[in-house]
Amino acid sequence: MAAIQIKQRHLLLLFLLISTCIHATLSLRLLNYVEEILWESQDDSVSLYRTPILLNLPNGDLLAFAEARKYSGGDGGAKFIAVRRSTDNGYEWGPQKFILDDFHAQDGVNTGAALYDYDTNTIFLLYSYCGHLANCVDGPDSQEVGTYMISSNDYGHTWSTPVNMVKLIPGISQLEAIAFGPGYGLQKQHPPFKGRLIACGHTAEYVARTQLCIYSDDHGKTWKINDRFYSLPFNATKNSHDLVPGEVQMVELPNGHLYMTVRNTHSYRCNCRMQLWSYDGGQTFPLEYAVFEKSLIDPNCFASMLHHNNILFFSNPASTSKRVNMTVRWSMDFGRTWNDSLPIYSGTSAYSCLTSINNNHIGLAYEKDGKYISFVNMKLET
């Protein structure tokens, strides 16, 4: 196989360069405004809550999703999917509801990506079932191995029955479980392909790991798979420092390009994030434009990203070796530099999710101390 040359710096288009000149004259202060525990493990007979997802709805509500792992903290095993709602910008939260239950599955549901279709007022929640075992169909309450979707047309108060997406995605294997996010997908707000729904993740099979996105141009009736990004070496045992893409979060930039941060699972080139771009609505994320962003250090963990008011925000445990030091960083030049940061919590922390709240506030949900999922409402001052 020919050697693949990775460009170390990506040149943005003129539109973004002009915007960079404008934003370079601005400064931003991010204030740690208020923090509240959303979930505490061992509550409601749940062993561990993990993988928070936040979704800001057009009616002003915030939804927070989490995996409620019933009997152990492992990625496999039986789970509920829990949801809480805030109607006042995240200051108070209603009681949790369980919207999915895999009963006593050996390896049940794993979230997932939540996304909102602004044209049809529909929430989609994408998730996988049995992403870790070869076969775990184990009873009348179990689902087939694969990738699933539920939807809501009333801002998440009620949800549809699960749909196996093998019926909606040509080219997906019957037994292929896509590990979306865990975070949010998006509906493109700018050309090309304005209105497209898109969610990204990776395949569960490890030796043949691929990073991929699915997208829909008909409001979720049918979906297609984009051009996959293959791990190297592909279909082979992975060693330290091999190129193995993991969990992802994607945002749309003002010029319609998509910008993705990828978990660099085997620390290829650095203990840092891999950043990818798409110029064709998510059909491709060319490897030749990848950047291994050494300023975004990472201990091999999921990280979140948010585009809010022409500023990019990024959250992760800011460490090269341990899941500690939850930090929010921001970029005033659409990801070319990440010079400013706000420490959130110096102790143990892991997965997180960022969301817009209103013009002057953003929210962060993150795993804290191996026991809690906490929500932080942050005020922006420019």
Listed by start position, the domains of the chain span: 14-381
* Cα-trace Rg, the chain: 19
The position carrying tokens 């993990």 is 50
Integer Cα distance of 368 and 37 in angstroms? 9
The pLDDT value given to residue 174: 62
- Mean pLDDT by 10-residue block, N- to C-terminus, for the chain (382 residues)? 38 39 57 89 92 98 98 91 98 97 88 97 96 60 80 99 89 78 98 98 85 96 93 89 94 98 95 98 94 97 98 98 98 95 97 97 98 96 83
The pLDDT value given to residue 3: 38
Residue 170, judged by CB atoms within 10 A of its CB (0-12, 13-18, 19+), counts as exposed
What does each C-alpha distance from 158 to 29, 122, 274 come to in angstroms?
A: 38, 11, 37
The pLDDT value given to residue 130: 84
Annotation: CATH topology of 14-381: Neuraminidase (2.120.10)
* Interior/surface letters 58-71, b for 16+ CB within 10 angstroms, e for the rest: eeebbbbbbbbbbe
